[in-house]
Amino acid sequence: MKLTQEQLAALIAQVFANLIAAGKDPSAITQDDIMVEVSAIIDEGDAGDPAGSEEEGAPKEDEGKGKDPAITPEFITQVLEALKACQKTAGEPAGQKDAEEPSAQKGAAPAATPAPAAPAQRKYSRLFLSTGASRDGGAASSFKTRIVSMSAPEQRKTVYGMFGRAVKCIHASGGEVERAAYVAEHKFGDAEMAREFKALAATQPTHGGYLVPEVYADEIIELLYPSTVIYDLGARRLGMDHGNLNIPKLKTGTRAMFAGENRKIPKTAPKFGNIRLSSKKLTALIPMSNDLLRSTNFDNDVIVGQDVTKQMALGVDWGAFQGTGGEFQPLGLFNNKAVQNINVAEIGTSYAGTDGVLTAMFPNYLVAAVLKNNVYADALGFVFNTSVEQFFKSIRDNTGGFIFAEEMNKQHTLAGYPYRTTNLIETVSGKTKIAFGNWNDLIIGEQGALEIETSREGSWTDEAGNLVSAFENDQTLIRAIDNVDVGLRHDESFVVATGVAVPV
């Protein structure tokens, strides 16, 4: 099908008429708006036959007089190619095209017939040709729809990359939402992300910080789960809409009792407690190379997304284990006095020596300490640091064989129960801790979405306590903020072993 000027004019007129009728400012209509409106025209099916029974390319008598051209994917492909050619021509110096084309008036030989053009390769064509497009310029869950069709490794890389790109747009725009949309569209050529920023501009204030578009914020929170020890073992996530959450819990239940004939039935009543979660500000400050942030390479976007996510994941784990409680920190497992604590030097030499060195029977001792409390066995598991992991892998039986090594290497379990390692559980003076419990009874409350802000002029303190200037080192500081709290549904679901001796 060859497009005539009348057909193209009729299509453009229809598109602009629909956009203006929908309340769009004619001076603010973008190419993205035009393409989404073309998709909407397809969905409505208000199109006619472009050529009818006439010869291909022949103009009709009534063309341009109210009858719309056929709007098909092939038609749109040609329109896009025409727009691309127009943009290319507009970018050429005046007279360049005329200089390059041979003139028929000077007797130049006719140009050879060009080969058929290859199908247009458009990175986001599915956004415009799918039935999920809408008149307001948004594609219905296009990002999430695309993610579902990917393998797990591809999903993680894509989400990290899109999140990292969102951070770069925020950095380049100085936190201005409309400018961030412009950067996404013109620097990265990412119309999908530009739409997310534009949607955010209509609903979120930009002063005092900046929220990553909701679709990416939601996905990056999902990636926190396998990145953290507690989520990976089964901790629950609950939303705190107003920054506070009260959860009633049953402390003791009723019990059925035997009674004799015509005897009064014994009365038992349950006792209730309450978990109160209130949001605590979780922050991470990540120095980032400006060379990395200037890059438009997608693999570099992945690095940015991974770095921010890793720091936030470590923060969640630290609060769950080491938080001191109070107004500004969650009450962590190791500082919760209601959780059972066991000093391994005092439990008997069958399980550990007086110097804290564990035996092969110790894991089962810790399991029994939890199960005796009638704890549900739906998400039981160990948490310890890498030194403890290597210690258990090194324990041998009387014949010299390794007791736990094969199980730990192949199944990532210890005494039949899953384990995870984190060096947030420190070794101090050769002693460390081990936690075991039902991680489904650990609750993480979250309020709102992830907030990101950047600064080129700030300073940060390294691990040695030295003050480092981001400006002098051509760096940018990325600050991530989330609001979380930690609570236990049942204190008796956990046990913490202290005084555990490890060689390193």
Q: What is the mean pLDDT of residues 167-188?
A: 86
- Write out the H or E segment, with its range, that includes residue 345: none
- Write out the H or E segment, with its range, that includes residue 438: strand 431-438
DSSP 425: S
CA distances 102 to 25, 105, 107, 117, Å, are 42, 9, 9, 21
Out of 44-58, 181-195, 343-357, 409-423, least confident range: 44-58
pLDDT greater than 90 at residue 1:
no
Question: What average pLDDT is seen over the chain?
Answer: 76
**Sequence-distant contacts of 30-38: CB under 8 A, at least 24 apart:** 31/83, 32/137, 32/185, 32/191, 32/194, 32/195, 33/137, 35/76, 35/80, 35/128, 36/127, 36/128, 36/133, 36/134, 36/135, 36/137, 36/138, 36/139, 37/135, 38/11, 38/71, 38/76, 38/79, 38/128
pLDDT band of 251, cuts 50, 70, 90: low
Phi-psi region of 371 (alpha: psi -120 to 50; beta: other; left: phi over 0): alpha
Out of 146-150, 278-282, 284-288, 416-420, least confident range: 146-150
Q: What is the mean pLDDT of residues 227-253?
A: 78
End-to-end CA distance of the chain: 75
pLDDT at position 268 is: 63
Q: What is the mean pLDDT of residues 140-152?
A: 68
Query: Which amino acid is it at 403?
Result: I
For residues 55 and 374, the model is more confident at: 374
pLDDT band of 270, cuts 50, 70, 90: low
For residues 248 and 503, the model is more confident at: 503
Out of 131-145, 242-256, 283-297, least confident range: 131-145
pLDDT at position 85 is: 56
pLDDT greater than 90 at residue 331:
yes
Per-residue pLDDT tens digits for 446-480 = 887 778 888 888 898 888 888 999 999 999 998 88
pTM assigned to the model: 0.63
Dist. CA 364–CA 231, nearest whole Å: 23
pLDDT at position 269 is: 60
Percent of the chain topping pLDDT 70:
67
Per-residue pLDDT tens digits for 386-396 = 999 999 999 99
pLDDT band of 179, cuts 50, 70, 90: confident
pLDDT at position 436 is: 97
Query: What strands lie across the sheet with 442-455, from one edge to the other?
Result: 236-239, 442-455, 475-488, 280-289
Q: What is the CA radius of gyration of the chain?
A: 32
Out of 38-47, 96-105, 284-293, 445-454, least confident range: 96-105
pLDDT band of 247, cuts 50, 70, 90: confident
Q: What is the mean pLDDT of residues 172-178?
A: 83
Per-residue pLDDT tens digits for 334-353 = 999 999 999 999 999 999 99
| Cβ–Cβ under 8 Å, residues 193 and 213 | yes
Dist. CA 452–CA 502, nearest whole Å: 39
- Give the residue ranges of DSSP H helices in 149-271: 152-173, 177-186, 191-201, 214-227, 229-233
- How many Cα neighbours within 13 Å face the side chain of 277? 27
pLDDT band of 200, cuts 50, 70, 90: confident
Query: Which amino acid is it at 29?
Result: I
Per-residue pLDDT tens digits for 210-225 = 567 766 666 676 666 5
pLDDT band of 42, cuts 50, 70, 90: low
- Write out the H or E segment, with its range, that includes residue 377: none
The residue to which tokens 């001796």 are assigned? 501
Out of 263-272, 283-292, 328-337, least confident range: 263-272
The residue to which tokens 């013109």 are assigned? 186
pLDDT greater than 90 at residue 432:
yes
- Write out the H or E segment, with its range, that includes residue 446: strand 442-455
pLDDT at position 19 is: 74
Per-residue pLDDT tens digits for 93-105 = 444 444 444 444 4
pLDDT band of 226, cuts 50, 70, 90: low
pLDDT band of 160, cuts 50, 70, 90: confident
